[in-house]
Structure 1
Amino acid sequence: MKKPYQRVELLGSEIIRPTIDLVYHLRIAPDARVVYIRWVLLDDEKPIAYDMQYIPYFPGITVWNDNFEYTSFSEILSQKNKLFQMQGRMNISGINCEREIAEILEIPVGTPVMQITQKILDDNEPMGYRQLFIKREWCCIRGTSHRE
């Protein structure tokens, strides 16, 4: 994002049944349970990003408490696995937002947004899946190329 957000608001945290997409991305059984966490990132009390996180449910994971704070996706997953090296795979694309995203970001349906999807893996096994939607005016992608 171009500049940091000022505040984060938890929209909800619950245990859900996985959709077909979640079964595919998390490589879980259709009858498994998934922790679903939703956040909105705000600047000047206006929404700038919508963050949805999906983690296969396992005993001991914190689903909700009074001090629930916005933490990095990998920090949440480290509750489950402290022994192995986690790695992430990320995909960045521009999409036209659907109704749910548009309502959260307070923009018209179909407005272009940046979508960042992220999978956290341990030994090539998915531990979590995330979708982050950012208003286009808050996006900037930079890179450096190297010639060998």
Structure 2
Amino acid sequence: MKPMSSFTPAYYRLAEDIKNKIESGELRPGDIIPSEVQLAKKHQVSRMTIRQGISLLVKEGFIKSIQGKGSFITAPPMDTLMLKFSDNKLLGENKNAKVDLLSVNVIPADKTISYKLNVVLGTKVLKLIQLLSDPDPVAIDTRFLPYLKGVPILENELKYAAFPDLVSQFTQLISVQNTLEISASVLSDEEAKLLEAMTGQPALCIEQIICAADDVPMGWSKMICRNDRFTIKAISQTI
């Protein structure tokens, strides 16, 4: 269960509560969830808040709403794969990569950063680069966050927090969507030097874009991984 902070929106807490019941087996595919009135009374929130929480669950595929009948827990299709990815568990669930923070800078957003973060060209953003090793270099992780004047930058938080957690801590907003994109790449001269590999060697590029409830990007990361030291595994399962 994810810890909920004091500034977590009520609709998000509701959605997490229902998801926890689904994942624990308390709610099963085909079960109908309580009505808006019942949920509003139980959680002591407005019906509008309940609708927001339900809409989030529908968007994420946990429930299906049928007009005039209610909202039902959905059965996950077997052709839908679950990919559990955490950049601070890059080498496996029980292993932590060594993290070396190479640089932290405030830079003006270029065209790519402007597009990814949906900010005006030239807007100040925080850029940090770190190297992950085990003990040999595995990946270069480059992260971009909005620059917030006056917000302290703590090295331990930058180094050891998973990217979605770092974004939430730094922006003080709740991230509700993490888009992960995996593509093929080749190492540049600089990347090859850091990863102790050959220029042009095949690599994996893993990008994450973290968004708030209003779909506004809160952070973007780009991880370049050595293809011979990194694998990705996804599974399909029923609830």
Please report the TM-score for the alignment, with normalisation by the length of structure 2: 0.55
3-state secondary structure, aligned to 1:102:
helix
The residue number in structure 1 matching 2:225 is 134
Structure 2 residue 141 is the aligned partner of structure 1 residue 51: yes
- Within-5 A mapping of 1:1-148: 1-3=90-92, 4-44=95-135, 46-63=136-153, 65=155, 69-79=159-169, 80-82=171-173, 84-122=174-212, 123-145=214-236
Q: Which runs of 5+ in 1 are unaligned?
A: none
Runs of 4+ in structure 1 displaced over 4 angstroms?
64-68
3-state secondary structure, aligned to 1:109:
coil
Higher relative contact order (CA 8 A, sep 6+): 1
* CA-based RMSD: 2.2
Q: Which runs of 5+ in 2 are unaligned?
A: 1-89
Quote how far apart the aligned CAs of 1:144 are.
2.9
Any conservation in 2 of the 1:5–1:42 contact (CA below 8 Å)?
no
Any conservation in 2 of the 1:113–1:135 contact (CA below 8 Å)?
yes
Seen in structure 2, the aligned counterparts of structure 1 residues 136 and 57 have a Cα distance that, compared at 3 Å, is same
Any conservation in 1 of the 2:168–2:175 contact (CA below 8 Å)?
no
Q: In structure 1, what is the Cα distance between the partners aligned to 2:114 and 2:176?
A: 20
Query: Quick check: 8-17 or 84-93, which moved more?
Result: 84-93
Tell which structure's C-alpha radius of gyration is larger: 2
Seen in structure 2, the aligned counterparts of structure 1 residues 12 and 64 have a Cα distance that, compared at 3 Å, is farther
Any conservation in 1 of the 2:131–2:137 contact (CA below 8 Å)?
yes
Please report the TM-score for the alignment, with normalisation by the length of structure 1: 0.85
Any conservation in 1 of the 2:207–2:223 contact (CA below 8 Å)?
yes
CA deviations 1:39-70 (Å, max 9, x no partner) are 001112x2111100001112343445588532
Q: Percent identity?
A: 26
Q: Paired residues, what number?
A: 145
- The one-letter code sitting in structure 2 at the alignment partner of 1:55 is L
Instruction: Identify the structure with the greater strand proportion.
Output: 1
- The one-letter code sitting in structure 1 at the alignment partner of 2:220 is Y
Q: In structure 1, what is the Cα distance between the partners aligned to 2:221 and 2:204?
A: 13
